[in-house]
Structure 1
Amino acid sequence: MMSLLTGFAVLLTGFSIINAGLLALYAVRQSSQMVAYLSGVLLAILSAIQLLNFGYLEFGTEWVHSRIYNVLLFMVAPTFYLLSAPLLEAQTYSFAKRWWHFLPVFLALILPPAWALPLAFVVGSGYLIRLGLNIYALRAQRSRFRLELFGLVLMFILAILVILLGVSNSLVPDQVFFSLYAAAIGGGFVLVSAVLSFAPQLPTEVAEAARETYAVSTLGKVDCELALQALQQLMQKQQMYQDTELDLPSLSEALGLSHYQVSELINTRLGKSFSRYLREQRVEAAKAQLIDQPKATVLGIGLAVGFSSQSNFYEAFREIVGMTPGQFRKLNQKSIPK
């Protein structure tokens, strides 16, 4: 049983180290410079912890009992808080004014490792409570991302279990403790990857919900009418929706706005999310082509307007129009006078 647990922990350790690089690329692509920087720092810390866990579980190295390991543990909670708080609280923080969050790290250099490790998890529990209250404050917006919020709740529960594990580490054999801790970190990486695969725009949507909750707008200095005209120009004349890789950051760059501003602009002025807006643009173009190009295949039209696969095209078309592309074409061809 112990070997099975250790093997599972080692497997998740490897996954989390590899996945950390992919998540770092995602952060650089989707986020501001500060968010990308903090994401990189957090992923580097977690990767280092997992490498030390791996060394102990596979080769019996004692780095997990070192001050370096405890320093890394003390850095996880404040780094994660500084990364997530601006999204959840709709505020922009200056890192220079928040340096004091890392003061507890010095405890790892002063206290004996046996004391410092559980204390690191106690400190983490304080940050966890604060973030839990922030998530609870967004409850009025939960209808916008129910499944995504479920993923966040799962990660929150996992974090609670990790805190309990860390606080009670003296009651658990080292092999069991570090196996469970490594598996928990790996499980966190699995959850994050799954949530972002299902909802890649989740960070932006959460920030948007937070701004609505706290009545904070990013459009104060933006000419919204002019921006909407520019958006319409990009979609109708330049047909940017045809780009399968089009995402919020690339559209924001084309408009000369931040992705938070574009997201809020579409949400507040058009009453829909960016992903919904993009699907509607592609479906409208597909509807015209289904009628105007009767010899073109349905799949060919779907790919031409920017959908990455037939399943995505059919799902979006049925969601917006209420029927399949083939049914729409047949219905409208019948209505055309001969």
Structure 2
Amino acid sequence: MTALAILLAGYSVFSAAAVALTHLGGDQYRGLPQSRAMGLLLLLALSGLQLAHFADLYLGQAWTGSLAYRIALFVVAPSFYLFSRAVLHPLAAPVQGARLAVHGIPLLVAPWLAPPLALPAAFLLGAGYLLWLGRSLLALRQARARFHAEMALLGTACAIALGVSVLGLAPTLLPAQVFVSLYACAIGLALLLVQISLGLRPQLAVEVREAVQTGYAQTTLGKVDCDAALARLQGLMARDRAFTDPDLSLAGLAAQLDLSPHQLSELLNARLGKSLSRYLREWRIGAATTLLCEEPSASVLSVGLNVGFTSQSTFYEAFREIEGMTPGQYRTLHSPPAGRAKAPQASIGIPE
């Protein structure tokens, strides 16, 4: 187990850096500075814990008894709560002022706790936050049906964390090295499951937030001609190529359709079974596949920018998600042989 713990501790540091650069560094948290900041703080704390575990298990250095380790323990739960709150409760006001300060109280207490008390206290705090998370996930009945695989993976990660939290309440039941190994394995496995979830659905946070927001609101489509609205939406995409605007937002597109943002979000979720972000990605990737074959001299980056993506990384991420390969691989597989004229393609319709 010690060898596995050392391996997962090292993996966790690189995994946390990858999630910070790709997931938190993208466009998903635009307008959510608190979530982005708390997500980065969470990954930093988890990396710090895993470095301490690595030093303890592999180098024989007692970093797990340091003040920095105790502080990192008390950072994890509040930062995770503040990070995930905007996703699971998008209609709630941001945590500010005195309410935000309350979540910082454990950090002030941590330096004054003796190591034997710090570990159970930190895990008791974590168990409380995990119960909040479990309650929030159980409330997402409508959204869970659309994110079954991802919710199962994240739920498994939470179950692992809760199990370690229970062990952390009585660390003397296990030898110190065994507990450190279990904790290192738990963090590593949780990060692995998170990366798998993001690999299955890179825009998971955005799609869950939009689905939850629609689910919490009462139906807003009672007086809306849904078929006519969908036809107007089809026209904006196919005729006006509205999806090529990288700054296109739910509110902006809704205004063009004479709908409210809630109405457009509910229309997409109820009638097409997808969020706006997924809908736009499908249109953009559909247009990109055409350009990749029709303009073989155009760079992959220029194709991505022309269809509405803001960077090469987000283009590649979306392309892999929808087509299962990179843009370059798609171009190689689907471009006609040299000298043979390419048959004209039909115009793009509403993505399936």
Decide whether aligned partners of structure 1 residues 173 and 24 sit closer, same or farther in structure 2, where only a CA change above 3 A counts: same
- Show structure 1 runs of 5+ residues with no match: 218-224, 290-295, 298-302, 316-328, 333-338
* Alignment partners' CA distance in 2, 1:54 and 1:262: 52
CA drift of 1:215 comes to 1.9
Report the Cα distance in structure 2 between the residues aligned to 1:148 and 1:76, rounded to whole angstroms: 22
Note if contact 1:107-1:116 (Cα within 8 Å) is conserved in structure 2: no
What letter corresponds to residue 2 of structure 2 in structure 1?
T
2:158 is aligned, of 156, 159, 168, to 156
What is the aligned partner in structure 1 of residue 5 from structure 2?
Answer: 9
Asked if the contact 1:121/1:166 (under 8 Å) is kept, the reply is yes
Letter in 1 for 2:118: A
Cα separation, partners in 2 of 1:122 and 1:230, compared to 1, 3 Å: same
1:1-150 correspondence runs (5 A): 5-25=1-21, 26-29=23-26, 30-31=28-29, 32-90=32-90, 91-96=92-97, 97-150=99-152
Q: What CA deviation, in whole Å up to 9, does each residue of 1:270-295 have, x standing for no partner?
A: 433236534764698699x8xxxxxx
Distance 2:267 2:250 in 1: 19
Q: CA, structure 1 residues 50+265, in 2 after alignment: closer, same or farther (shift >3 Å)?
A: farther
For residue 240 of structure 1, report the CA deviation from its aligned partner.
4.8
- Secondary structure at 2:104 match in 1: helix
| CA offsets 1:198-232 (integer angstroms, 9 cap, x no match) | 01121112212332343289xxxxxxx99x97995
Which ranges in structure 2 are unaligned for 5 or more consecutive residues? 220-227, 295-299, 308-314, 326-342, 347-352
Q: Could you say which residue in structure 1 is the equivalent of 2:338?
A: none
Q: Tell me how far apart the structure 2 counterparts of residues 136 and 53 of structure 1 sit (CA, whole Å).
A: 33
Structure 2 Cα separation of the partners of residues 250 and 8 of structure 1? 45
User: What RMSD over aligned residues (CA atoms) do the two structures have, in Å?
Assistant: 4.3
- Deviation of residue 149 (structure 1)? 1.4
Going from structure 1 to structure 2, the CA distance change for 1:13 and 1:275 (only over 3 Å counts) comes to same
State the match for 2:196 in structure 1.
194
The 3-state SS of whatever aligns with 2:103 is helix
Preserved CA contact (<8 Å) 1:71 1:108: yes
Whole-Å separation in 1 of the counterparts to 2:321 and 2:109: 54
CA–CA separation in structure 2 for the residues paired with 1:84 and 1:40: 12
Counterpart Cα distance in 1 of 2:266 and 2:196: 28
**What is the number of equivalent residue pairs in this alignment?**
293
Instruction: Mark the CA change 1:82 to 1:275 in structure 2 (over 3 Å): closer, same or farther.
Output: closer
1:268 alignment counterpart: 266
Contact 1:204 1:263 (8 Å CA) reproduced: no
Task: Determine the C-alpha separation between the residues in 1 that align with 2:40 and 2:285.
Answer: 37
SS at match of 2:83: helix
| Larger helix share, 1 or 2 | 1
Match of 2:333? none
Counterparts of 1:141-290 in structure 2, within 5 Å, are: 141-215=143-217, 233=236, 236-238=239-241, 240=243, 251-252=248-249, 267-270=265-268, 271-272=271-272, 273=274, 274=276, 277-278=279-280, 281=283
TM-score of the superposed pair, with normalisation by structure 1: 0.71
Greater CA drift, 48-57 or 203-212: 203-212
Q: Distance in 2 between matches of 1:128 and 1:36?
A: 20
- What TM-score, normalized by structure 2, do the two folds share? 0.69
Equivalent-residue separation in structure 1 for 2:50 and 2:150 (angstroms): 26
Query: Any idea what SS the aligned residue of 1:200 has?
Result: coil
Instruction: Look up the SS of the partner of 1:98 in the other structure.
Output: helix
**Greater CA deviation, 121-130 or 90-99?**
90-99
C-alpha spacing 1:238/1:190, structure 2 compared with 1 (3 Å): same
